[in-house]
Amino acid sequence: MGCDVKDLGLAGKGRERIEWAAGEMPVLALIRERFEKERPLEGIRVGACLHVTTETANLMETLAAGGAEVALCASNPLSTQDDVAAALCEQGGIQTNAIRGEDTETFFRHINAVLDTRPHITMDDGADMVSVLHKERQDQIAEILGGTEETTTGVIRLRAMAADGALRYPIVSVNDADTKHLFDNRFGTGQSTMDAIMRATNRLLAGRTIVVCGYGMCGRGVASRARGMGAHVIVTEVDPTPALEAMMEGYRVMPLLEAARVGDIFITVTGDKAVIRREHMDRMKDGAILANSGHFDVEIDKEALGTIAEGRVRRIREFVDEYTTGDGRRLHLLGEGRLVNLAAAEGHPAAVMDMSFANQALAAEWVVKNAASLSPQVYEVPREIDKEVARLKLRAMGVEIDTLTEEQEEYLRSWQEGT
């Protein structure tokens, strides 16, 4: 098996951390038990391009329990947990090609190593594997039954491909499941982003002004957790509806050019590029901290930061690069502008990844079962799967809910009753 990891000696530590995460992933554990019995993925090769974390390891082992042959590479060069990669390799069975800090060439070599296993199912976080397949390896697309996509950015790319008529196989948008984006994007990104900023900087957040760029599900989570830490939160948006929602949630809303003058910490979570640009950096205070929690490292214009600093750059702490401007202001970029929650912390906690990855496992099973009737488009996770994940999660949390009476069911089906 062609693994490429940093150090197999880290496997023991990785195995303990994978087990620790498993304790918070009861829904995935139930699916794994069923998969072990039913083997719904027997004979299926899965190629996964995901953040190589303890939670992902649990997903990979669930797929393997279902009979799949699994190969895994990283969906971001800075998010790999080397001990986890080592543990997956040592155990055998799961080819892992991922090294934290790998350069762009290695990153793509690893994607290609996974594609060399000729997967029937692709599992992406950001659509880089799908992109390589469509641009460089079209010859193997005919062997692919379908794929899944984990994140908002990846789904945006896939929808653009579908609209262009370029998408050549069916992909399930796991991100769009309620039990994914309402929890992982909001509570996961919210907590892990604040966790990463605190780990990287050890700064007090209470009383500081935190500017959250983007008020999608991730932005909502970050803003609410920042407020919970005692920060004054400003939201910037381009869409009037979420801007209005942020306003009514009690945040200040203003253009980034205005926020740039007063912010202490800036966090991008938009999914778009060049959100924080030179004109914003020119107005920032000495000591400002810049962090990105969007999928790609394009939200903060790093080139502009470099130009402003003209070489006056130093790594002042692990994960903190200090750029000094011509007029002596220090701007601090966290985690090289890569998604800070995975670069400087451990990503979303296992309890939310439990639901995201339960959807991933069940979506893969659904693709295998339904492959013959699917066409090349972006599919939603079937509603029954989404609801089942919510039900199982509640049960695991020991929470019961009510059920509709016959009379209520009937009322909802009828239209005659009214005023």
Residues that bind ligand ADE (CB under 6 A): 50-51, 53, 55-56, 188, 342, 347-348, 353
Backbone angles phi, psi at 148, to 5 degrees: -135, 155
Task: Decide whether 16 or 38 has the Cβ nearer to ligand ADE.
Answer: 16
Give the separation between CA 291 and CA 4, rounded to whole angstroms: 30
- Closest contact distance (angstroms) between CB of 311 and ligand ADE is 34
- List, in order, residues 6 or more apart from 356 with CB less than 8 Å away: 150, 174, 179, 180, 183, 184, 188, 348
| Contact (CB, 8 A) for 235 and 246 | yes
Closest residue to ligand ADE, judged by C-beta, is: 347
Task: Decide whether 17 or 280 has the Cβ nearer to ligand ADE.
Answer: 17
- Closest contact distance (angstroms) between CB of 95 and ligand ADE is 18
- Closest contact distance (angstroms) between CB of 351 and ligand ADE is 10
Task: Decide whether 97 or 209 has the Cβ nearer to ligand ADE.
Answer: 97
- Closest contact distance (angstroms) between CB of 20 and ligand ADE is 12
Task: Decide whether 87 or 234 has the Cβ nearer to ligand ADE.
Answer: 87
Give the separation between CA 50 and CA 56, rounded to whole angstroms: 7
E-only strand ranges, 176-244: 209-213, 232-236
Task: Decide whether 55 or 321 has the Cβ nearer to ligand ADE.
Answer: 55
- Closest contact distance (angstroms) between CB of 171 and ligand ADE is 18
Which residue, among 65, 58, 49, 74, has the nearest Cα to 24 in the 3D structure? 58
Give the separation between CA 277 and CA 273, rounded to whole angstroms: 10
- Closest contact distance (angstroms) between CB of 259 and ligand ADE is 26
Give the separation between CA 264 and CA 14, rounded to whole angstroms: 36
Give the separation between CA 47 and CA 121, rounded to whole angstroms: 6
Task: Decide whether 47 or 263 has the Cβ nearer to ligand ADE.
Answer: 47
Rounded to 5°, the CA angle 215-216-218 comes to: 95
